[in-house]
Amino acid sequence: MPESTTKTATKYLNFIDGEWVPAKSGDFFENRNPAHANQVIGLFPKGGKADVEAAVGAARSAFDAWRKTPAPVRGEILKRVGDLLLERKETIARDMTREMGKVLAETRGDVQEGIDTAYYAMGEGRRLFGETVPSELPNKFAMVVREPLGVAGIITPWNFPLAIPTWKIFPALLAGNTIVFKPASDVPLTANHFVEALVDGGVPPKVVNLVHGGGGEVGNAIVEHRDVPVVSFTGSTAVGRGLAERCGRALKRLSLELGGKNAQIVMDDADLDLALDGALWGAFGTTGQRCTATSRLILHEAIHDRFVDRLVERAERLVLGDGLDPKSQVGPLVNEKQLEAVAQYVEIGRAGGARLACGGGRATAGALAEGWFFEPTVFVGVTPSMRIAREEIFGPVLSVLRVKDLDEAIAMLNDTDYGLSSSLYTRDVNAAFRAMRDIQAGITYINGPTIGAEAHLPFGGVKETGNGHREGGWTAYEIFTEQKTIYVDYSGRLQRAQIDNR
């Protein structure tokens, strides 16, 4: 919801306590188009601790009525939200491309994932399963039910500006929690669109609160607030580790979805055309800015050279440009800081002894000079100990490694601090099942790239990729609910459990 349009830019607002309001500081920050860095999309409120305090207070005041709303009714509301997202899909997708950069086909998919998650949540409104089990005593009933925790703090990244917030917010709302939502500062307009859909769809206004601003001010205030019992965060492993320490001291529930260093294995019996398509999409889709991006490509030595030749030829033909241009296949990096980080990793790769096969620099031809574009980059001769093979780059940089057999390939894939997504291309069903058993990752694809998530399946990883929770599917509802065990004794006499039943 804009506040006003000036000659320079439109001003937008936070949504707190059922109203669109400016930050209490009165300050704003710029939201720029990464394809045209001189283009300001809008000005957004620079929130802080006082704004979070107001948002948490509003969410707390709405909690009792919302938790008592029957879960199927909450699900029907979220279904209406999904309908509105469907109606507004093109508008949201185009604005998402303008502020985040990825091509329009991808932002449409991002919105569709949110729609799918809404419709899945509607069904879960009639499936918030508890359990009933026999009691060990006569005339006694035992059951377990799920209850909401209270105010949920939701802190989301910029690479999937609608999909990831819906993964968190729809389950939290369906379970009966209220929300304080802090989106990444690179994608505030998409967050405003989302909150407008939530309110227009029937979520009571105080149930959802939106506070824009930096992680140091808004994010920390959410995490440290005593009345926020559960926090869900997607972002870097370094930030997640710090959040875990603080939430641990407060005995606060925390769900972390963090980094990845994903690998695709291609064996000598694979469909190489299919594997090539998968490697290109996995490495350079979303300009490599995905926690599930294919950052390592592990090739069997028998097909290594010819596969690399084809990979480089295809990578060099990818069309960079404004994501709103139908001809563009790869958009810009999200901001100048990300561009500098990727460029630094290219230098680290060169200094470490890897050979640059293509790309490696900022793309500046023609209109590309207006934005933060980086060439699709392929390194060969990479070894597992090199930094570019171990650290998350979050850009269009692919490291190619060579192996002799499947055992070496799986060991190399597992040789990382992360464990989010993984991929194997092979026609050998026995090899596929060995890989499914032995790969250390939360997600494994056979004959598909490392990316992609379906709304009804768990999403998350092992090792430093997270802290064990899974988003998506039925598992997301475990994050936002507490289990209560209930006994009903209808014996009419005192029964003292183990004292009386033995």
Give the active site residues.
257, 291
Rounded CA-CA distance 204/186 in Å is 27
Alpha-carbon dihedral 414, 419, 425, 426, rounded to 10 degrees? 50
Output DSSP code: residue 38: E
The answer to whether 217 and 141 have CB atoms below 8 angstroms apart is: no
* Whole-number Å distance between alpha carbons of 402 and 285: 23
Q: Minimal CA–CA distance to 286: which of 395, 423, 400?
A: 395
d(CA 34, CA 354): 29
Pairing of strands 294-300, 397-403: parallel
DSSP 8-class letter at 326 = T
Q: Are 323 and 102 in contact (CB under 8 A)?
A: yes
DSSP for 45-102, written as a single string: E---HHHHHHHHHHHHHHHHHHHHS-HHHHHHHHHHHHHHHHHTHHHHHHHHHHHH--
Give me 495's structure tokens.
């029964």
Give residue 72's identity as a one-letter amino acid code. Answer: P
Write the DSSP symbol of residue 268: T
- Which helix (H) or strand (E) segment holds residue 238: the answer is helix 237-249
Which distant-in-sequence residues (6+ apart) come within 8 Å of 347 by Cβ? none
Of 387, 373, 279, nearest to 331 by C-alpha is 373
DSSP state of 285: G
- Between CA 442 and CA 19, with CA 230 as vertex, the angle to 5 degrees is 120
Number of other residues whose CB lies within 10 A of the CB of residue 433: 11
The CA distance from 394 to 400, in Å, is 16
Is 332:371 a contact under the CB 8 Å cutoff? Answer: yes
Q: What one-letter code names the amino acid at 489?
A: D
Type of residue numbered 90: E
Helices 163-174 and 104-124 cross at an angle (nearest 10°) of 10
Q: Give the CA angle between residues 112, 113, 115 to the nearest 5°.
A: 60
What is the number of alpha carbons within 13 Å of residue 182 lying toward its C-beta? 27
